A and B are shown apart, each in its own frame.
Chain A
Amino acid sequence: MMDTARPAVRIDRLEKRYGDTIAVADVSFEVRPGELFGVLGPNGAGKTTTLECLEGLRTPDAGHLEVLGVDVASDPAAARPLLGVQLQVAGLPATMRVGEAMRFFCAYRGVPPRDDLLERFGLTDKLTAAYGSLSGGQQRRLVLALALAHDPQVLVLDEPTSGLDVPARAELHAILRELKAAGTTILLATHDMAEAETLCDRVAIVLRGRTVAVASPAELTTSGHGLSTVSVRTADGTFIGSDATLPGVQEIIDDGDYTRWLSDDPAATVTAVLGALERTADELIDLRIERPSLEERFLELTSAGPASQGPSRHDRETSGPAREGAPS
């Protein structure tokens, strides 16, 4: 039974250098038990290095890493069985067969082979197929099955859908949702904003080796300077060509049958639109509210630059306790 009071993963002020290159300058976040947590950042932001330090593949230069209360640095042997890992760059020998791979790694883990996982991930009919002959999606599923073979409490996935086609990506997303529903804590590094927005409960944004924000995707998207779009289509076209001032509206766009308002206060704008419709007795056909996407918020943060700007007020508020006092 997982202790829900204790973070599943805790990374505190992690630093890692490769010679003169600073890969990770100050990364801190906590992952709650049962959470699907995303680590977002552009290429070279330090996501993989952070995960590799957690996995015991790299030795941090400073900072503290814990998995379910176990210190990764001082007790790697105890931490390793708690983690299931899918690496960004990893593979199996091309001639190794699917069934062999499962027996091979389970033997080293000291657990019986998990043919049930191969079945669950749709690999039963590939038992005698060589790893090199599998499609990219099948290879990822196999590696994921191997990572889960010893029933780890925390699953660490580094860019698991990178390079996959749309169906394979959707399949993998479905598997991750299943795992989360079964109570597995998942730490997912990705640079795919849509994937993070769809899958993750919370995300940490890492830029140039520093955590600049930790929050849910919804909190992040509402916290930036991006404008929401309120789109309306009515039977009589009341708003077409109108330049009526509505609360929160920064810009009006006529788009065929639709009128779109870019608003910094979409709730107030919608209320005003509905009031106007009631007064004119026009009939509402369609109303849409689109918030800024995580990608837009991410680009906003990226263009701000952590080194020059530091985390925003909201970022500091939404970051975990480990972020307190982080250099700006």
Chain B
Amino acid sequence: MIQGLVAHGAVELRTGIRDRTLLLMTYLFPLGFYGFLGAFMTDLNPGFLDVMIPGMAVFAMLAAAMFGLPAPLITARTTGVLRSYRINGVPTGAVFGVPAVTTVVHLLVVGAIIAMSAPVIFDAPPVGHVPAFALVMLIAAATHTALGALIGVVSANDRIAVLWSQLLFLPSVLLAGIIVPLEQIPELFQPLSLLLPASYAMEAFRGLALGADTLIAPWLAVGVLVAGAIAAFVLTWLCYAWDDHGAGRRLHPAFGALALLPYAVPAFVVTVWG
């Protein structure tokens, strides 16, 4: 089994580079966007520099997890790859777990590129606490890739997956503090911000790695991200089917919405009790 997982991981890492869509969504798109915002946004909004490194790292997570992960899982299901895996003894958890882990590895590389280059190229404040940055990067990447895997598993086809991905991606870019810090988001939208995993990732980065004041206690944000990652992985496992007829599925795909519960609870608490 271990031997199989190692071989699977090696193949996934290589195919992640070979596959143009994955390469685009994991490296080219987020790093290109980072370069674009670095070149123009810093003039328009100098405050952006303060959140540039975590913001672009979280953006990379969103791009890779929301647009890079679900499509290959859906294609694998519809083209019979998952049937081949099942018949050849590839465990269910490995089918989505290994791509998720390799996506996290790619994201760590992207995060390291951003963290090292932003202070040099754009004069962004460097990461104050590197181990904390790495820890939050790891946890937040795991959370987002778990959600990406869940979208891939519960979506009947690519179009539906893109719809779900956009529902998380666009609000996250606008309301999660990636471009503007969370406390500067209009109060009206803050409850919505707190429903987004990216908001907790940003707060954890800012509080623990950059030493900034945050709206949510940074370790609480880390706790929410961990709970979110566990919920998403468990739901992915329960909703997983190895063919288009739902074979092997233990739970109706609608239950995938429960993955937002770890964010809904603190959002409710903060909204009601401040």
Give A residues with C-beta under 8 Å from B.
18, 55, 57-58, 80, 85, 87, 89-93, 95-96, 100, 103-105, 107-110, 130, 143, 146
Contact = CB atoms under 8 A, between A and B. Distances in A.
Contacts of B19: 95
Nearest to B16: A95
Interface in B7-37: 7-8, 11, 14-15, 18-19
Given A91-B84, A109-B88, A58 B247 contact: yes
A277 B209 CA distance: 104
B87 A90 contact: yes
Interface in B74-92: 76, 79-81, 83-84, 86-90
Given A58-B247, A93-B15, A95-B19, A108 B83 contact: no
B84 A104 contact: no
B89 A90 contact: no
A103 B84 contact: no
A107 B87 CA distance: 14
Decide if the interface of chain B is mainly helix, strand, loop or mixed.
helix
Q: Which 7 A-B pairs give the minimum distances between C-beta atoms?
A: A108-B4, A107-B7, A90-B80, A107-B4, A90-B84, A89-B80, A91-B80
Contacts, number: 67
Contact of A104 (B11, B80, B247): B11
Interface residues of B, number: 25
Contacts of B4: 104, 107-110
Given A87-B80, A93-B81, A100-B14, A108 B7 contact: yes
A57 B7 contact: no
Contact of B84 (A80, A92, A95, A100): A92
A87 B3 contact: no
Contacts of B14: 100
29 contacts: A55-B87, A58-B247, A85-B87, A87-B80, A87-B87, A89-B80, A89-B83, A90-B81, A90-B87, A91-B79, A91-B80, A92-B81, A92-B84, A93-B81, A95-B18, A95-B19, A96-B15, A100-B14, A103-B11, A104-B7, A104-B11, A105-B89, A107-B4, A108-B4, A108-B8, A108-B89, A109-B4, A143-B84, A146-B88
Contact of A100 (B11, B79, B87, B90): B11
Given A91-B81, A104-B7, 11 more contacts: A85-B87, A87-B83, A89-B80, A90-B87, A95-B15, A96-B11, A100-B11, A103-B11, A105-B90, A108-B4, A108-B7
